Amino acid sequence: MPPLNLVDANVDRRSNFAPPDLDLDAANAQLADANATESVEWAAATFGDRLVMSTSFGIQSAVMLHLVTQVVPDIPVIWVDTGYLPAETYRFADRLTERLGLNLKVYQSPLSPARMEALYGRLWESDRVEDLNRYDAMRKVEPMQRALSELGAIAWLAGLRRGQTDRRQSLPRVGVQSGIYKVLPILNWHSKDIYEYLTDRDLPYHPYFDRGYVTVGDWHSSRPLTADDSHERDTRFRGMKQECGLHLPQTPEEAQSLDSSSL
């Protein structure tokens, strides 16, 4: 492939600069044949110290955490702690943070779990998707949007893959969400790629992998994969929805723009 059009690869991430006005079609064409590491290098060179990444400390989170920090060791790593994660997730997060030397930024809802339940009930038990969306908006989406704002992010690295949900099949390598550029280095990876990356570097899966989980979030909304499941995301939210809201457009106008985009 031709060399990527990078600015100084040794960019000082302590310096601040205005967000670049990217031509998304050109950026995606440029990265069409780039591997994951090259995509991270492009993002680091393009966005400098205004680049962040997110993690859920889920089943395969060690892949993105290792991949990105090999290129940008000090990148802010946003972790939205809902207050309902399994104990194993908290311990897994501590181990990976120490091993990889993560610059971890933990964000939580200003509404405690106890207060939320007192005011709104156990929303995750509802049979209404609207209630599940309300839960996600309070415990996940609001903290993430606050994190991006407080950290001054203009670009966000995320470990989304096309095979994970129906919507993700049509995602571009570089896009925009809520005014933030979104870069997806492992978008085209398959489960085999994940397995090989982890094993080649002796990186751990989340402990729930050994219990039959292929994806894990809050303790009350995740379960192991069964023979009756047609998709791994059937194990989340009782199969009622595939996305938690963190990676969805935040306004109807943004959704309409994305739906009509050539990307």
Q: What is the 3-state secondary structure (H, E, C) of 73-136?
A: CCCEEEEECCCCCCHHHHHHHHHHHHHHCCEEEEECCCCCHHHHHHHHCCHHHCCCHHHHHHHH
- Cα of 73 vs its chain's centroid, Å: 18
Selecting among 51, 68, 100, 244, the annotated active-site residue is 244
Give Cα separations from 255 to 146, 162, 173, 186, 259 (angstroms): 20, 18, 17, 23, 6
Write down the residue that tokens 């085209």 correspond to: 188
Residue 237 DSSP one-character state? G
244 annotated active-site: yes
Mind telling me the catalytic residues? 244
